[in-house]
A and B are shown apart, each in its own frame.
Chain A
């Protein structure tokens, strides 16, 4: 049975949640930070190189995270069971006084909150009166038809949507915020503190769980590594930073956490920095992320001023939802933040660092570049959803920048995953694709689906990465075509867990991936287009189609990976490893994390069974949504609607996935295998018979030439790079134009024109920034190096001669000595580092006092000038 229910005044009720763990959640990141310090300081003298400290700390954190989650669930239940007689409702100050508990049955729907939908509200109100008496803790789901847009058409389209849960007067549990004032300046209080709600505890549990398993796995995987202690130190720091990030109560803290995880990612990608590609990859990741960080900073600053000089996440969201924040500023801020998301979460067209980041140790790839850090961008959107929802007019339109970026990313990632020979690169592109899925989900208003997919993806992708690591541990390579094949005979457990992870990723029922993927597909609301009615927040039919194609491609490339890795005939063994005969199964410290993750990948989907699934009572379904999604009554979360689960859609998507698996199975398991058990591709296969397919294959092999656009290198060349850049910029601009059109209700064509201009400008800047950065990193040298040289020779020669001459060397020295020296951490290493740095820096030390004075004066002048201009 499906009825339409509009939460009226009852939804304005929120209950303060409290609890020891909820209020003192800072302990969790603090433990990890302490662990980092201890490992760095004393790790080398410990019998197990500090790994025992890290594991103990993260295990404690995991337990604490579970306790926090338990307390949160308790709070939600308590709030849901609330009646006006039994508990004190906190009337949310963000809403009007109609939120009087005693009158909630007869009061009229508060039309002020809805921008335009009075008529609908009445209709809903009637429906609510009809809603039956089943007292249900399912909570007050809201249908908001306004969603910040005054576009009447979309509003009426949306009302057709139904989200049915029996009417209840349940109150929402407010997020637990505990803050201290850090310092205050000019009347603005800068606070530090924690904010805990469903989203936070989800991330807490996911991060600590995956981190714990990765810690255990790593004790075997990097055993004997020369920087074993560093490795564990940085794992601890990373975990601390991520936990700090997810528990932040204000956006300032989020920026700090965001940058900290970036630094840890940099350090761990470059863990084996002696090899040039690894350090290049680390730099690439870092620089690409810097591009996005500009967006992050600008976005946060815009948000700060737009929301009346507030830093708090709740205040910012509340301002956006109430409409007190300027809509234009919200749009600008959300587009800026989107740039940050694109770099951190590997979204097209800043995703190019993520595959290269696979240069790091595999457990790190599992933890950072699949399960946790890269979802920081998704988390950012989810956390500031009020801003994005209203800024981009999600739900008020059929297209927006977020959804487009997500959809394009998911397709690009999935198509590139096809042509990779390196098993980790396949998984990296798959991660990009799945992150695109999450962004897409957020872009179409399917918030819960996105967070749910984030959770399940973390589990099965970690499982896949660790499985790939286990295989490579045995064959000492990641190349599927050269060194793998037939591994299932040698590594049965790894094979089984990898198979489970693959099925989960492909999205076949009843494994975890299926439920979350399907929820996203349903959330696009696009299925209604085929059924003749509209669902959820709007009809994102294109997104549904793209998501469906991605699902098919995902299934196909995972089948390919399965064949190349585990089936056919073993093609490795040609390494001259004396100690290494046949590959063998990994040890228990590698296998147990795999088993646990695979087990979770099977059952995690049950967390959020669709409503009414197999006639299950409501206490069994939608648990995740119930506990994780904040209700609009809390004041910091927009009123979103939920798609109805659709049997027809689920069956259709399963058929699509199954047929994709079938096609890939036929190609690899039947055709290729028949040709020769050790073959990897068909001789005279389709790419050789069709010019078109060949061209497509070449383009995929070259990763859509994106990397070449950034570095201007072969085979594209500078001219080609610029041409491609123009096309991409124009495409990005079109998206932007659509956003402007929808977000600001501007005329269509001028918006698109401005969007294209803006897009080209932004793309040029981004490309130039990346080229510059990589030029410094001596990945690319030409144009910027020439310009720098000219400036150096003609402008600042005399003044900063030494500086100019030595800047490259200094950068080198900074990397070698600061980066590597400081990582080492022990007193010895610090001494060595400073000695070495001193050796480099002595070139600066001419002993000429006046030269020092010149630099000092010039610096002070520049700072003073900056101060004057800023103030």
Chain B
């Protein structure tokens, strides 16, 4: 992975991959929030999360992509499946997973999308921008695990410790909340 890879062909390939993955992600995400089968929802979520990991790698954040796969697809999804099972959801399609009237939710979401879309376009047209805002991820080497760990354990050590405590607290909290008396 060196700068020599940043040829026109690679850029085109990158874009093709981006749009492919993005399309899959959006469709899967829509299924997550609309499907009437809870297990399917969890599996569609896997697709979205994997797509996110792929986007990370496209952007040159390989370590984050790998972590995404490990933590989300490996652990979080399993947790979800446990949750589904423990709450005894039906296997197969099920009624009443969504509210009867979803119009307000749709309105809110569309409105939000409009506002954010406008903001993004507005941002791209900002006076300081050249209108393209190219990400030159291929002009430089992807970040290495070494760089990330150096940063975590030096500059962001306090935040890292705080996250550690948070995870511990969440662990204990989850046990306390969920355990039977």
Query: At the interface, yes or no: A861 with Cβ under 8 Å from chain B?
Result: yes
- Report whether A868 and B122 are in contact in the complex, using a CB–CB cutoff of 8 Å: yes
B105 surroundings in chain A (CB, below 8 A):
850, 854
Provide the bound-state CA to CA distance between A854 and B99, in Å: 13
* Interface residue tally for chain A (C-beta within 8 Å): 12
Q: Select from chain A the residue with minimum beta-carbon distance to B110.
A: A861
Of chain A, the residue at the smallest CB distance from B115 is A865
User: Which chain B residues numbered 103 to 117 have a C-beta less than 8 Å away from chain A?
Assistant: 103-105, 107-108, 111-112, 114-115
- Which residues of B lie under 8 Å from residue A865 when comparing CB positions? 111, 114-115, 118
Bound-complex Cα distance A191 to B119 (A): 33
**B132 is an interface residue with CB less than 8 A from chain A:** no
Tell me the nearest residue of chain A to B105, going by C-beta.
A854
The residue in chain B whose Cβ has the minimal distance to the Cβ of A797 is B103
Over the window 32-44 of chain B, the binary record of Cβ atoms lying under 8 Å from chain A Cβ atoms (1 yes, 0 no) is 0000000000000
A-chain residues with CB within 8 Å of residue B119 when the two chains form the complex:
864, 868
Most A Cβ at <10 Å: residue of B112, B118, B119, B122: B112
Contacts of B154 in A (CB 8 A): none
Partner of A854, one of B104, B114, B122: B104
Judge whether B112 and A799 touch: CB under 8 Å. no
The CA-CA distance from A205 to B128 in the complex, in Å, is 56
Q: Which listed residue (B108, B118, B122) contacts A858, Cβ 8 A?
A: B108
Report whether B115 and A868 are in contact in the complex, using a CB–CB cutoff of 8 Å. yes
Chain A positions within 8 Å of B99 at CB level: 850
Judging by beta carbons under 8 Å apart, are A798 and B104 in contact? Answer: yes
Cβ-based interface call for B101 (8 A): yes
- B residues 43-100 with Cβ under 8 Å of A? 99
A857 at the A/B interface (Cβ < 8 Å)? yes
Residue of A nearest to B109 (CB): A857
Residues in A neighbouring B115, C-beta threshold 8 A: 861, 864-865, 868
B108:A861 contact, CB within 8 angstroms: yes
| Given the contacts A868-B119, A868-B122, A798 and B101 also touching, CB distance less than 8 Å | yes
Question: Is there an interface contact between A799 and B107, defined as CB atoms closer than 8 Å?
Answer: yes
* Contact residue among A857, A864, A868 (Cβ-Cβ distance under 8 Å from B108): A857
Against B, the Cβ 8 Å flags (1 = close, 0 = not) of A825-864 are 0000000000000000000000000100010011001101
Is B111 a contact partner of A798 (Cβ separation < 8 A)? Answer: no
- B114 / chain A contacts, CB cutoff of 8 Å: 865
When distances are taken between beta carbons in the complex, the residues of chain B under 8 Å from A799 are 103-104, 107-108
A800 CB contacts on chain B under 8 angstroms: 104
Q: Whose C-beta in chain B lies nearest to the C-beta of A871?
A: B122
Mark contacts of A603-646 with chain B using CB atoms, 8 A cut-off: 1 yes-contact digit, 0 otherwise: 00000000000000000000000000000000000000000000
Do B103 and A798 touch (CB < 8 A)? yes
Q: Are B122 and A857 in contact (CB under 8 A)?
A: no
The CA-CA distance from A865 to B116 in the complex, in Å, is: 8
A residues within 8 A CB of B112? Answer: 857, 861
Nearest CB on B from A499, distance (A): 67
Known: A868-B118, A868-B119, A868-B122. A861 touches B101 (CB 8 A): no
What residues on A are CB-neighbors of B101 within 8 Å? 798
A861-B122 contact in complex given A798-B103, A798-B104, A799-B103, C-beta closer than 8 Å: no
Which chain B residues lie closer than 8 Å to A854 at the CB level?
A: 104-105, 108
Least CB distance from A231 to B in Å reads: 46
Count residues of chain B with CB under 8 A from any CB of chain A.
14
Q: How far is the CA of A2 from the CA of B73 in the complex (A)?
A: 98
Min CB gap B128→A, angstroms? 15
Q: Hey, which chain B residues are within 8 Å of A857, CB to CB?
A: 108, 112
In the complex, chain B residues whose CB is within 8 Å of the CB of A862: 111
Q: Which A756-813 residues have C-beta < 8 A from chain B?
A: 798-800
Q: How many whole Å from A859's CB to the nearest CB in chain B?
A: 10
Q: Which residues of B contact A864 (CB under 8 A)?
A: 115, 119
| Minimum distance in angstroms from B144 CB to a CB of chain A | 37
Residue of A whose beta carbon sits closest to that of B122: A868
Give the residue among B103, B107, B115, B122 with the most A Cβ atoms within 10 A. Answer: B115
- Which residues of A294-345 are within 8 A (CB) of B? none
Q: Name the B residues within 8 Å of A868 (CB-CB).
A: 115, 118-119, 122
A538 to B5, CA, bound (A): 81
Q: How far is the CA of A800 from the CA of B103 in the complex (A)?
A: 11
B105 to chain A, nearest CB (A): 6
A850 — nearest CB in chain B belongs to which residue? B99
Chain A residues contacting B111 (CB-CB under 8 Å) are: 858, 861-862, 865
Give residues of chain B (16-46) contacting chain A, Cβ–Cβ below 8 Å.
none
- Complex alpha-carbon distance, A858 and B118, angstroms: 16
> Which A-chain residue is minimally distant from B118 (CB atoms)?
A868
B108 to A: closest C-beta gap in Å: 5
Question: With A and B bound together, what is the CA distance between A857 and B111 in angstroms?
Answer: 10
Chain B contacts for A798, CB-based, 8 A:
101, 103-104
Q: Which B residues lie within 8 Å of A861 (CB)?
A: 108, 111-112, 115
Interface residues of A in 567-619 (CB under 8 A from B): none
* A862-B111 Cα distance, complex, nearest whole Å: 8
With a cutoff of 8 Å between Cβ atoms, the chain B residues found around residue A850 in the complex are 99, 105
In whole angstroms, what is the CA distance A799 to B111 when docked?
A: 13
Q: How far is the CB of A797 from chain B (nearest CB, A)?
A: 8
CB closest residue in chain B, given A856: B108
Q: How far apart are B71's CB and chain A's nearest CB, in angstroms?
A: 26
Q: Which residue of A lies closest to B100 (CB)?
A: A798
Q: Whole-angstrom distance from the CB of A791 to the nearest CB of chain B?
A: 14
Minimum CB distance partner of A851 in chain B: B104
Contact string, B166-180, partner A, CB cutoff 8 A, digits 1/0? 000000000000000
Q: With A and B bound together, what is the CA distance between A437 and B112 in angstroms?
A: 53
- A799 and B109 CA atoms in complex are apart in Å by 12
Question: How far is B98's CA from A220's CA once the two chains are assembled, in angstroms?
Answer: 66
In the complex, what's the smallest C-beta–C-beta distance from B33 to chain A, in angstroms? Answer: 13
Q: Output the nearest chain B residue to A857 by Cβ-Cβ distance.
A: B108
Query: How distant is the Cα of A798 from the Cα of B105 in the complex, in angstroms?
Result: 10
Closest beta carbon of chain B to A793's beta carbon, Å: 13
Distance of B110 from chain A, by nearest CB (Å):
10
Find the residue from B108, B114, B119, B122 having the highest chain A CB count within 10 A.
B108
A862 CB to closest chain B CB (Å) equals: 8
CA A850 to CA B98, docked complex, whole Å = 11
Closest to B102 in A: A798
The CA-CA distance from A720 to B103 in the complex, in Å, is: 42
Bound Cα distance A417, B88 (Å): 80
Complex CA gap A862/B112 in Å reads: 8
Q: Which A residues are in CB contact (< 8 Å) with B108?
A: 799, 854, 857-858, 861
Distance in Å: Cβ of A534 to nearest Cβ of chain B: 54
- A862 CA to B107 CA, complexed, in Å: 12
- Give chain B nearest CB distance to A47 CB in angstroms: 57
Say how far A861's CB is from chain B's closest CB, in angstroms. 5
Which 7 A-B residue pairings sit nearest by Cβ, starting from the closest?
A799-B104, A865-B115, A798-B103, A861-B112, A858-B108, A798-B101, A857-B108
A-B contact pairs, 19 of them (CB 8 A): A798-B101, A798-B103, A798-B104, A799-B103, A799-B104, A799-B107, A854-B104, A854-B105, A854-B108, A857-B112, A858-B107, A858-B111, A861-B112, A862-B111, A864-B115, A865-B115, A865-B118, A868-B115, A868-B119
Binding site for A on B (CB under 8 A): 99, 101, 103-105, 107-108, 111-112, 114-115, 118-119, 122
- Not counting A854-B104, A858-B108, A858-B111, a sample of 17 additional A-B residue pairs whose C-beta atoms are within 8 angstroms of each other reads A798-B101, A798-B103, A798-B104, A799-B107, A799-B108, A850-B99, A854-B105, A857-B108, A857-B112, A858-B104, A858-B107, A862-B111, A865-B114, A865-B115, A865-B118, A868-B119, A868-B122
